[in-house]
A and B are shown apart, each in its own frame.
Chain A
Amino acid sequence: MSGTEVSLALSVFLACAVEAVEAFTIVLAVGSTRRWSSALAGVGAAALALAVLIGALGPAITSLPIGVLRVVVGGLLLTFGLQWLRKAIMRAAGTKAKHDEEAIFREEAAEAAAAPASDESFDGYAFAISFKAVLLEGLEVAFIVLTFGANQHDVGLAAVAAGAAVLVVLAAGLALRAPLARVPENGMKFAVGVLLTSFGIFWGAEGAGASWPGGEASLGPLVAVVLLAALAMVAELRSRPRAPRAAAEASA
């Protein structure tokens, strides 16, 4: 595998694992509080909806001319990457509350317990919440898999990386039967933000007509530059005097 392929697989794996952990927490909370059969039916329906979406969008994306594809995909990946990276920088600096799977699990479970009970064999609440969680978390991953795969002409590799991430998260979740709170989710999000931003810049600029010195070999140094810039921003944010509101949020 080339360096670009390794970066692609790593980006997709990390992004997919993070989203899978978040979806798993919600499904676990709803399933254990309400009814497992309905929660799992919601998961299945969302997976089916995602498969239909990928089946419909996949050929359309891969049939675009490579220049157009790189501009569109680069722009979208850069947008996603910058959003992920901004939040990750703020979490790392302590100006935004970190993602806490145990707290989210408790909150979701409390809401599920408070919702009206269902006497029938099908629990609409459990189905709807599970469906929404898997669909929303899966949508971004499906997009990343399609765009990364199409740009590198290797949708198969991206799909394998995504599938592996889901399997790893599922195996860990089933073994523990608890929220995966020990997964270094915030660090993974930081890495995904750096990688998505770097790929977005690389493909977007290339599609716009720029020629990178050394071609694909410049992707490594670009990732390093984005990482160092992000770490510098974390250090700068940490050194600032904390506003009362930010401090309250960070400690929440």
Chain B
Amino acid sequence: MIRRVALAVWDFVVGDDWRLALAAVAAIGLTAIVCALGLNVWWLAPVIALAALRWTLRPGSAGSHS
């Protein structure tokens, strides 16, 4: 039961392609780290997010079951 709930939550949050979930975490996490160092990198999150999106669309891209 717990396993099924955990799988459902994973499926709901992570979705079809885990790489995009990882990219979202990386985009915000790296922004937080660099901002903590004193640089206002407002542009970093969109660059990472859009680059990851483009990367998952490349031919023969794995990681999804959609």
Contacts and interface: CB of A to CB of B under 8 A. Distances in A.
B5 interface: no
Contacts of B62: none
B66 to A, nearest CB: 6
Interface in A100-124: none
B36 A209 contact: yes
B14 interface: yes
A213 B57 CA distance: 30
Interface string A193-207: 000010011001101
Question: Contact residue range for chain B?
Answer: 20 to 34
- SS of B interface (majority): helix
Contacts of B2: none
Contacts of B27: 78, 201, 204-205
A76 B21 CA distance: 8
A83 B15 CA distance: 7
Interface in A198-224: 200-201, 204-205, 207-213, 218, 222
A201 B49 CA distance: 8
Contacts, number: 105
Contacts of A76: 13, 24
Nearest to A193: B53
Interface residues of A, number: 39
B25 interface: yes
A83 B17 contact: yes
B6 to A, nearest CB: 16
Interface of B: 12-17, 20-21, 23-25, 27-29, 31-32, 35-36, 40-42, 44-46, 49-50, 52-54, 56-57, 59, 64, 66
5 contacts: A78-B45, A85-B53, A90-B57, A201-B45, A204-B31
